Each structure stands twice: as C-alpha cells, then as structure tokens.
C-alpha cells in the first residue's frame, strides 16, 4: 500500500480514484456538495477582511472583482455576520456588520467578535466632522467621485483651534493635529501626512457617521467655546499696585 509521500510525489501512478469506494449515487452527491471558490473571489474577500475597504483607485483589479462577484463575496462573508457595501460613484467597497439581534438583546449591545471596537475620542470626532465638511466641499466643487481631496495641516489647525482653543505654541498645535490625524488614519479616514504637510481625505468618511450628528457636534463645540469665552470675560481682573 502506498504512503502519503508516494501519492504526493507520484500522483498519476499511486493516487487511487477518490470515488472508487463510493456507490454511483454517493459519488455524484459528493461531487455536488463541494464547489471550489475561484482564486479571484478568494483574494477579493481576503483583502476586504484584511483592510476593511478597497478603493478603486488603489486596487482596481480587486475592486472590479468585488463589483463582478458581489453576491459570491457576500456569500463568503455572511457566515461571519459581515457583508460588503459598494459606493460605485466614489469607487469604494467596504465591509459592514450585519444588523442582527442576538438572543433577543438590543443590537446596540452586541459587538462583533471579529471587529475591533475602537471608539473615537471627542477630539477625534470633531476632526472627523471638520474633514467631512472639507470632503463635501471638494465634491461640490470637483464633482462627486473626484479623486484626491487633500487638505493642508496649516488649514486644519485654525479650524481645530476654533473649537478646542489654542495651545499657545506652533509646535504644540502641530503635535495635536498630527496625533489626531494618526488616530484617524487607522480607521481608513485619511492618508499619511505627505512631504508637503498635507493629507488625503478618504471617501470612506462619507459613510462613517450621520452628517446631522456631526453638525450637532460642531454646534455643541461652538456653544461650549462661546460659553467659555464669556466666562473668561466675566472674571475679575487683578487690581494693580496702589
């Protein structure tokens, strides 16, 4: 009887017919019960699971595979309670968690075991709102789906200062904005800061948060900033030397 290595090294000579011991009906049933997924679809699903999103401009071949085989990709993701969503205008495919109700508990209380839940801080959420405004303005000017919505750090700093106040030094302001952008980069919202001190706002930002909630956040920050300013103006000034 041949061993496993004999069968691997001499498949034509030693491999027995895998259906030889099966009856005709069993062989037919066995051949129909398993269908190999094409490499193209596997790569598309694997890239989605690895990165969470695929942009047409960065990985056009994989993006086209998702477009052409969305049903098959969804079939792979469904047992994981995941699905793919398409924004074909902006050339974006991204993974979402299916809205399910587990054991009768509210869906808000359920966290997906494969998704790392990392909530944004208040300051990070503020920057998302500012960046979303920038992205929408870019699309209004250049058209929906226009590429490379870039923004300079020197343009973001005063907008953040408007809501969070000044830190008193340019170095501290640069550090704050870079730290915030670095955190958002991990969520696929922005690119790295380039050599021109600019970042690219990713189209995923249009799907991350409800625009009404972001506007409410900006208004709340503005109100808090005005209130703080008024309180500061009411503080008694120290008297000078008599």
pLDDT at 15 over 50: no
Mean pLDDT computed over every residue of the chain: 75
Q: Across the strands, what pairs with 95?
A: 84
pLDDT per residue as tens digits for the range 20-68:
455 555 555 555 556 688 899 999 999 988 888 899 988 999 999 999 9
If you search the block for the tokens 């696929």, which residue do you land on?
188
Q: Which residues pair with 83 in a beta bridge?
A: 96
Q: Which residue has the higher pLDDT, 166 or 223?
A: 166
pLDDT of residue 95: 86
pLDDT of the residue at 217: 60
82's CB contacts (< 8 A; 6+ apart) are 49, 95, 96, 97, 98, 112, 114
Evaluate whether 148 touches 200 at the Cβ level (below 8 Å).
yes
At residue 105, the pLDDT reads 47
What's the pLDDT tens digit per position in 119-170? Answer: 678 888 888 889 988 898 888 888 787 777 899 999 999 999 888 888 888 9
Q: How confident is the model at residue 171 (pLDDT cuts 50, 70, 90)?
A: very high
Asked if 184 and 201 touch (Cβ cutoff 8 Å), the reply is no
Mean pLDDT of 175-193: 89
Q: What is the DSSP letter of 96?
A: E
Judged against a pLDDT cut of 80, whether residue 16 lies above it is answered with no
| Res 13 pLDDT > 80 | no
Global confidence as pTM: 0.61
């Amino acid at each position: 009887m041949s061993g496993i290595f004999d069968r691997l090294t001499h498949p034509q000579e030693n491999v027995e017919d895998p259906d030889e011991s099966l009856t005709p009906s069993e062989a037919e049933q066995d051949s129909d019960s398993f269908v190999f997924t094409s490499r193209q679809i596997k790569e598309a699903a694997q890239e989605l699971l690895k990165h969470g999103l695929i942009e047409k401009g960065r990985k056009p071949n994989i993006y086209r595979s998702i477009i052409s085989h969305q049903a098959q990709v969804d079939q792979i993701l469904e047992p994981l309670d995941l699905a793919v969503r398409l924004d074909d205008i902006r050339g974006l495919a991204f993974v979402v968690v299916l809205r399910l109700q587990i054991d009768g508990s509210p869906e808000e209380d359920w966290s997906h075991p494969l998704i790392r839940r990392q909530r944004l801080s208040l300051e990070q959420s503020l920057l998302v709102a500012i960046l979303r405004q920038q992205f929408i303005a870019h699309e209004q000017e250049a058209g929906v789906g226009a590429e490379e919505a870039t923004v300079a750090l020197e343009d973001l700093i005063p907008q953040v200062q408007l809501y969070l106040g000044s830190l008193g030094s340019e170095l501290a302001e640069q550090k704050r904005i870079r730290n915030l952008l670095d955190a958002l980069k991990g969520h696929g919202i922005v690119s790295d800061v380039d050599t021109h001190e600019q970042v690219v706002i990713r189209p995923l930002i249009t799907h991350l948060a409800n625009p009404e909630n972001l506007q409410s956040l900006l208004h709340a920050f503005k109100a808090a900033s005005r209130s703080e300013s008024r309180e500061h103006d009411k503080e008694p000034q120290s008297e000078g030397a008599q």
